[in-house]
Amino acid sequence: MNLRETPGTSPAHRPPGHAVPLDLRGATGGTGADAVRAALDTPQPGGDERRFLVVDDAARLVAHQFLYERLYSYGPARVVCLAVGAPEEGDPPARAGAGAGAGGSALRRPLTLRPPTAGVLWVLDPHTADDPDGLRPLVELLLQPEVFDAVLHALAGVVHGVAVPSVRVVEHDLSDEARTRVWKEALGALTGQEASGGGPGDAVPAELAVLLDDSLPEAVAGHRWLEPSRPAAARRRACDDALEEARAGHRLARGPAGLFGAGARRADLPGRLVGLGRALEAYRDTVAGAFTDADGVRLTQEQRARLLERGIVLPDLPAASRTRVVPALRDLTEHLLDQPLPLRSAAARLAALSDRSAPAGSAARLARLDELCDPAYLRHLAGPPPFRAGGTSAAAALLALVPAFVAGLWPGPGWFLGPATGAAAAALAALMWRHRPNRSPDGRYDGGGTTRIAARLLGGLAGGTAGAVAGSLSALPAWAGAAAAALALVGAVVLAVRDWTRSVDAWWRGTDAEYAARVVTGVDRLLAETAVHDWLLADARRHCADGARATALLLRALAATADAYGGGGDGAASVPGPRGARPEPAPRQAPPADADGGGELWTWDAWSDSAADDGWYDAAPATPFGPPDPAPAGSDAYAGDPAGPYGDRDGGSGDRYGEYGDPDGGFGGPYETDGGPYDTAAPDTPYDVPAGPAHPYDFAGPARPYDRSGPPRHIGPAYEAVPDPSHDPLDGFDDDWSPFGPAEDPPWLERERGDGGPDLVDTLVADLASGTRRILAPCWARIERDPARAGRTPLDGPMRDLLDEVHGRLLRDAATSPPPHDPNPGRRPDATRMTGVASDRVTELLAPGGGDAEPAVPLCGPQHRRLLSADPLTVHQVRFAPEAFRRGAAEPDGGPWQDRPYAVRAEYADDVVWTPTGRHAGVLGLVPLRADTVRTVREETPEEEDDPS
């Protein structure tokens, strides 16, 4: 049965709930009690019963009965005991008081280890039980809460709750070279190169965008910045009035009224332009004084009072609150990290944001004010440009010539009318000069100019004479000549008025008086922009600049830490392989014959129905954990060791576990960090890993449950959101266990190594970026309070913890499991795209009805076959696999999940137990024992005999 969820549901990260590992092999009363106490003190999240995985000597289960009872002292508990070693020999009643043996016929267990709350897995295979590398994968599997619960549930259906495990496991992982390469690539993509210049990008939140440019919020769109009764508003109105007066003067000056009337002369248009310039200058001086008075990085109450005295009213602007800056800055930073953008590139963008948002003070806008209201323009208004009418001399002469020629066509009178019409054109030019718009009536302002009087006169006389000659020669009728003369006089006047109007309009355009409206509007907008960005938003802009600069400093510090981590700053110069990794083993060959003469591997096909018919009862049982050269039959092979090969490890130099046992109850003495050949702190060891916080589940010694070198490291409240890599209970096994014997895999373990899939580096970078967000999470409160100090916050420890955590998952399961800070674990790539190894072998083992072609390997020798039940139908199986192997699987109807982009066409059995982490997938079989093989002992006393359960 699947104890987690159906295969179709989306995986979600849950708090760690691993079983607490506990090693009681060789533990005495004092050391065993300390180990149990440490296990009980280990926190287990969740409200369900506590889980304990105990590794113990099979011959000492009853001797440790009191220790097992203490595991229930804190409330309900579930216990799976991994009993290691051979059974006891001899007749059970005769051996009631014995503590241990080697070989034999029965497993004696205390009442505490009975189902349904406890169960025993009996490992009899010497290649697995006596080899840490062989036992470690099995322990890693059982520590998974899903596998733990499934195994305990299956043991409840087995006779006595005791079974011999049979295993077939496929391990998906990366090669050491690929692991080193992808880790360096991920660190390089995370940190990036130094960058400078550029801008903050296009994804700036609206709360920060208003601080970067001169745009005005909608909240101030209809605000009146000038108090009507104050000087600033009066001077602003004076500009409008002066401009309107100048426009009115222009309207009077143009057209026939301006040329022939007397009102244009009294309008004094040049004086009005001078008044317009003075009004603009006064308004500019008022605004410039306000900019000077309110200069600074923050507007004070005194400055507000001076602004109000000038007549400038500031509104209440919600966007001016600095409380909105840091959340928006956090959103921008997290967006940059989610892209993902390298840390140094993100820091460069934040530095550009800091430069652009830093307030410069309102006095810095005086230059812009001078550009808008240029003093040169004001001087231009005070000095009107010259007035020019008639165009060029030739054009002016032509304007007089044409009417005069037409008037001269009347035979006879034309000799008089032609030249008179030319003289009239010259007289109109003289009137234009007298009424020119750039001259004041009193003569104070006179821009000069020309109306081409002489050219008009000469042209008129020449035209009139030519017309008279032409009229005499043509002999036109009198009526035609009179009509031509009248038309010529009217034409001369019309052409003069048209020329006057066009010349006045051209002169008006030359004054640029209309530009004054743009000047006033520009000054108004500049005043509003200054009021918003330099006065109202000054505090928010300064806070944004300081916060962005602090965040950029933090990102650069994190990048430097990552560079030091990958470049050898903390012992990770060469990225290590997985903890406990060994050179790639050669293809497994058939093992040599056992000492007892068993020359071939035992298979289920050789399993007979009766143990009495196979002759094994007559054979002398071998001592699987004995010395390499077993003593002859009948001799005392362990005379020097009163407890035999499973004696107390705390005494005697002849202890069998003296080579690789832990005198304190751990998993191996020479693998301690105090100086064994596989010390993880040694500089040349292949199992060296980056230094990190000790494991809370580390059980290297009963008196040191949390840290073998000192008190546990805690990140602290400021970094409680950062995932602590020490929460992984599997690290304790990797730290304490190292390769033993030749680099050869157990026969039930298949290792598949890949060079990394297409999504591995990107996923690692995304994990690091997501973790960086969590590291920065507690810093935002500091940036809100004091950005200057927050930028110097040391984040080396949390960053190294993050790197250790991500690197540890890369070592443990090729980063196929999502980290605790993954916001969307369901979209994580599957195992194939992460490791580069196809999941065909896993699919074969876990397919519906699959796994039968290649049976699981029982963890016992051929000499122990008589202890097993003769009914293969009683074998219980637990199929297990990490979530990464079913991620992206199809829906029952064949349609892909929308939130899973990596479609996997793999069908798995319904009873597969899916674990959130891990790199092992396969089948764990529970082979029952014969009814008389397990004996339950209520008390460890010589007088009481064992009672079969």
Identify the top-confidence range among 121-135, 455-469, 700-714, 930-944. 455-469
| pLDDT of 17 strictly over 70 | no
Burial environment of residue 205 by CB neighbours within 10 A (0 to 12, 13 to 18, 19 or more): middle
pLDDT the model gives residue 516: 93
Amino acid at 684: D
Q: Return d(Cα 11, Cα 826) in angstroms, integer.
A: 6
User: Of 133, 124, 317, whose CA–CA distance to 217 is shortest?
Assistant: 317
Structure confidence by residue, pLDDT tens digits, 190-206: 999 887 766 777 778 88
> 329 and 286, same structural domain?
yes
What pLDDT was estimated at residue 575?
A: 38
Helices (H) and strands (E) in the chain, counts: 29, 14
Per-residue pLDDT for 487 more than 80?
A: yes
Q: What is the pLDDT of residue 706?
A: 30
Report if residue 374 sits inside a domain: yes
Same domain, 375 and 407: no
Non-local (6+) Cβ contacts of 718 within 8 A are 778, 779
Same domain, 245 and 365: yes
Does 431 share its domain with 370?
no
Which H or E run includes 481?
Answer: helix 478-511
Q: What is the pLDDT of residues 522-542, one digit of tens each?
A: 999 999 999 988 888 888 999
pLDDT of 850: 61
**Position 43 in a domain:** no
How far apart CA 533 and CA 594 sit, in angstroms, is 87
Distances (CA, A) of 207 to 221, 318, 321, 359, 530: 17, 11, 10, 16, 18
pLDDT at 407 over 90: no
Q: In this model, does residue 145 exceed pLDDT 60?
A: yes
Q: What is the DSSP string of 347-414?
A: HHHHHHHHHHHS---GGGGHHHHHHHT-HHHHHHHHSPPPEE-SSSHHHHHHHHHHHHHHHTTSTTTH
* β-pairing verdict for 387-388 and 449-450: parallel
pLDDT top residue among 508 and 475: 508
Q: What is the DSSP string of 729-745?
A: TTHHHHHH----SSS--
Closest CA to 159 of 931, 946, 932: 931
Q: Do 369 and 421 reside in the same domain of the chain?
A: no
| Higher per-residue pLDDT: 92 or 755 | 755
pLDDT above 90 for 546: yes
Question: Does the structure show a pLDDT above 70 at 97?
Answer: no
Closest CA to 830 of 891, 777, 760: 760
Instruction: Give the burial string for 418-436 (b: 16+ CB within 10 Å, else e).
Output: bbbbbbbbbbbbebbeebb
Using only C-alpha atoms, what is the Rg of the chain? 49
Q: What is the DSSP string of 412-458?
A: TTHHHHHHHHHHHHHHHHHHHHHT-TTB-TTSS-B--EE--HHHHHH
Residue 637 has pLDDT above 70, yes or no: no
Out of 142-146, 387-391, 655-659, 833-837, pick the least confident. 655-659
- Output the CA–CA distances (angstroms, integers) from residue 652 to 88, 627, 649, 671, in the order listed: 22, 16, 7, 20
Residues 374, 230 share a domain: yes
Asked if the model's pLDDT at residue 608 lies above 90, the reply is no
User: What backbone phi and psi angles, to 5 degrees, belong to 934?
Assistant: -110, 130
CB 407 within 8 A of CB 237: no
Separation between Cα atoms, residue 654 and residue 645, nearest integer Å: 9
Same domain, 371 and 394: no
What are the backbone angles phi and psi of residue 755, rounded to the nearest 5°?
-95, 10
Q: How would you class 21 by CB atoms within 10 Å of its CB: exposed for 0-12, middle for 13-18, buried for 19 or more?
A: buried
pLDDT at 441: 79
The H or E element that residue 84 is part of is: strand 77-84
Torsion of CA 30, 35, 40, 45, to 10 degrees: 170
Please report which confidence band the pLDDT of residue 224 belongs to, taking 50, 70 and 90 as the band edges: confident
Residue 940 tokens, joined: 């460890």
What distance lies between CA 342 and its chain's CA centroid? 10
CA-to-CA distance for 279 and 239, rounded, in angstroms? 5
- The candidate with the shortest Cα–Cα distance to 12, out of 824, 607, 665, 711, is 824
If phi over 0 gives left and psi between -120 and 50 gives alpha, with beta otherwise, what is residue 755?
alpha
Instruction: Give pLDDT, residue 611.
Output: 36
The mean per-residue pLDDT over the stretch 246-256 comes to 88
* Average pLDDT score over residue span 90-101: 38
**Preceding omega of 862 cis (within 30 degrees of 0):** no
Name the token pair of 145: 């809460």
Residue 366 in domain: yes
Look at residue 882 and give its three-state secondary structure: strand
Q: What are phi and psi of 110, to 5 degrees?
A: -80, 170
Q: 403 is in which domain, residue-wise?
A: 387-507
pLDDT of residue 867: 86
Handedness of CA 947, 123, 103, 97 (dihedral sign): negative
310 domain residue, yes or no: yes
Distance between CA atoms of residues 298 and 287, nearest Å:
18
* Residue 513 token pair: 């008086």
pLDDT on residue 622: 35
Residue 573 in 3-state DSSP? Answer: coil
- Residue 493 and residue 396 share a domain: yes
The closest of 698, 689, 940 to 808, measured between CA atoms, is 689
Q: Are residues 374 and 404 in the same domain?
A: no
How many angstroms separate the CA atoms of 19 and 5, rounded? 19
pLDDT at 892 over 80: no
Sign of CA dihedral 137, 138, 143, 147: positive
- Cα atoms found within 13 Å of the Cα of residue 197, Cβ hemisphere only: 0
Query: What is the chain's mean pLDDT, rounded?
Result: 74
- Does residue 574 register a pLDDT over 60? no
pLDDT at 853: 55
Spatial distance between the Cα atoms of 465 and 485, rounded to a whole number of angstroms: 13
Q: Please write the tens of the pLDDT for every residue from 260-298.
A: 877 667 778 888 999 999 999 999 999 999 999 888 877
Candidates 62, 9, 67, 63; CA nearest to 37 is 67
Residue 547 lies inside a defined structural domain of this protein: yes
- The answer as to whether 305 is a domain residue is yes
Residue predicted with more confidence, 571 or 147: 147
Read off the pLDDT band of 350 (50, 70, 90).
Answer: very high
For the chain, what is the domain count? 2
CB distance 512 to 318 below 8 Å: no
**Are 354 and 477 found together in one domain?**
no
853 falls within a domain = no
- Average pLDDT of 372-385? 89
pLDDT at 703 exceeding the cut of 80: no
Query: Could you tell me which residues are beta bridge partners of residue 109?
Result: 936
Query: Rounded distance, CA 91 to CA 859, Å?
Result: 24
Q: In the structure, what pLDDT confidence band is assigned to residue 185 with cuts at 50, 70 and 90?
A: very high
The pLDDT tens digits for 805-820 are 999 989 888 888 888 7
Within this chain, do residues 410 and 473 fall inside the same structural domain, yes or no?
Answer: yes
**What's residue 103's pLDDT?**
40
Which of 507, 538, 573 terminates a domain? The answer is 507
Backbone φ and ψ for 360, nearest 5 degrees, come out as -105, -5
Neighbours of 292 (CB within 10 A): 13
């980056």: which residue's tokens?
690
Rounded to the nearest 5 degrees, what angle is found at the Cα of 684, between the Cα atoms of 678 and 686?
60
Rounded Cα distance, 83 and 933, in Å: 14
% of residues, the chain, pLDDT over 70? 72
pLDDT at residue 730 is higher than 70: no
118 phi/psi in degrees, rounded to 5 = -150, 160
Q: Is 908:643 a contact under the CB 8 Å cutoff?
A: no
Q: Read off φ and ψ for residue 844, nearest 5 degrees.
A: -65, -40
**Count of beta carbons in the 10 Å neighbourhood of residue 946:** 18
The 8-class DSSP code of residue 533 comes to I
Question: Taking the C-alpha atoms of 663, 666, 668 and 671 in order, what is their torsion angle to the nearest 10 degrees?
Answer: -100
Strand, helix or coil at 208? helix
Q: Quote the pLDDT of residue 334.
A: 92
Phi-psi region of 156 (alpha: psi -120 to 50; beta: other; left: phi over 0): alpha
**What mean pLDDT is predicted for residues 212-217?**
82
Out of 196-205, 368-377, 391-400, 707-716, least confident range: 707-716
Residue 47's pLDDT band, with cuts at 50, 70 and 90, is low
pLDDT for position 677:
30
Per-residue pLDDT band for 551 (boundaries 50, 70, 90) equals very high
- Which of helix, strand or coil describes residue 144? coil
Per-residue pLDDT tens over the stretch 645-696: 333 333 333 333 333 333 333 333 333 333 333 233 333 333 333 333 333 3
- Whether residue 11 lies inside any domain: the answer is no
Residue 851's pLDDT band (cuts 50, 70, 90)? low
CA 632 distance to own-chain centroid: 67
Which carries the bigger pLDDT value, residue 141 or residue 946?
141
**Residues 479, 74: Cα–Cα separation, whole Å:** 136
**Which pLDDT tens digit goes with each residue over 75-93?**
889 999 999 987 665 444 3
Domain identity same for 267 and 359: yes
As a whole number, mean pLDDT of residues 721-750 equals: 51
Q: Which residues pair with 57 in a beta bridge?
A: 84
Q: Determine the average pLDDT of the residues in 229-250.
A: 92
